[in-house]
């Protein structure tokens, strides 16, 4: 049984690591950001409510997020645990979730905190590029296309998404610092916080996480 939370600032590689953890431990990867984006795409009532927050990089109100997560973790595929990515994002969300679990006689096992220096994060995020046509991701420093601005795979235009612009990235960091980083103290207080150095390669960070989660 593994009930795990993945914490870390934007660009820390939570999504990438979450895929690997979910596969290795055979637990569903629950990303509140993915749930919201799917609802926005499908134009559901929830999608219509949350669109404005995602567009501006602001947090969706706690009440709405908590309802979504509560529903999701009660699904049968969560019976052996789950990996939460992007939730909780505020101390009230964390308190809510602890109380929700306690009512069911459950608790979180571990909170993995991927720690990366802000300068590295800024470089990672503002260097991100993507092909407008096929979606292949690039990075201007670590993984540039062979010809600048042209996709290696399909010849499409390689461009920078608007939410990877320096201004929006700065805004997401600010929201993280103000609202999400206090969670590290909250979970340290509960003895659940497990920090991991996120500056290494994807496989390096993955092994460090697995060492913390055990078999």
Least Å distance, CB 8 to ligand AMP, is 10
Nearest residue to ligand AMP, by Cβ distance, number only: 33
Least Å distance, CB 10 to ligand AMP, is 6
By CB under 6 A, is residue 65 in contact with ligand AMP? yes
- Catalytic (active-site) positions: 14, 89, 128, 161, 172
By CB under 6 A, is residue 17 in contact with ligand AMP? no
Letter string b/e over residues 183-211, b meaning 16 or more CB atoms within 10 A of that residue's CB: bbebbeeeebbbbbebeeeeeebbebbee
Of 32, 39, 126, 168, which one interacts with ligand AMP (CB under 6 A)? Answer: 32
Sole residue written with tokens 């046509």: 133
By CB under 6 A, is residue 86 in contact with ligand AMP? yes
The count of chain residues that interact with ligand AMP, using the rule CB under 6 A, is 15
User: Residue 73 is encoded by which pair of tokens?
Assistant: 């973790």
Tell me if 64 sits within 8 A of 50, measured CB to CB: yes
Tell me if 174 sits within 8 A of 165, measured CB to CB: no
Please name the residues in contact with 2: beta carbons below 8 A apart, sequence gap of 6 or more.
Answer: 25, 27, 80, 81, 82, 83, 109, 110, 213
Q: Which is nearer to ligand AMP, 86 or 145 (CB)?
A: 86
By CB under 6 A, is residue 127 in contact with ligand AMP? no
Distance CA 197, CA 183 (A): 17
Least Å distance, CB 3 to ligand AMP, is 16
Interface residues with ligand AMP (CB under 6 A) are 32-33, 36, 53-54, 57-60, 65, 86-89, 93
């Amino acid at each position: 049984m593994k009930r795990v939370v993945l914490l870390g600032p934007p660009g820390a590689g939570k999504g990438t690591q979450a895929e690997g953890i979910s596969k290795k431990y055979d637990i569903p990867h629950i990303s509140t950001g993915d749930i919201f984006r799917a609802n926005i795409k499908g134009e559901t009532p929830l999608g219509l409510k949350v669109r404005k927050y995602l567009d501006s990089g602001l947090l969706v109100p706690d009440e709405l997020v908590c309802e979504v997560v509560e529903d999701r973790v009660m699904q049968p595929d969560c019976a052996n645990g789950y990996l939460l990515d992007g939730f909780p994002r505020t101390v009230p969300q964390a308190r809510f979730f602890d109380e929700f679990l306690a009512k069911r006689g459950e608790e979180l096992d571990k909170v993995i905190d991927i720690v990366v220096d802000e300068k590295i994060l800024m470089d990672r995020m503002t260097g991100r590029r993507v092909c407008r046509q096929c979606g292949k991701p690039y990075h201007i420093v670590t993984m540039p296309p062979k010809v600048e601005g042209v996709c290696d795979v399909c010849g499409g235009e390689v461009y920078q998404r608007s939410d990877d612009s320096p201004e929006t990235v700065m805004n997401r960091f600010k929201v993280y610092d103000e609202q999400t980083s206090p969670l590290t103290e909250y979970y340290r207080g509960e003895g659940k916080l497990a920090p991991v150095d996120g500056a290494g390669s994807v496989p390096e960070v993955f092994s460090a996480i697995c060492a913390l989660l055990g078999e």
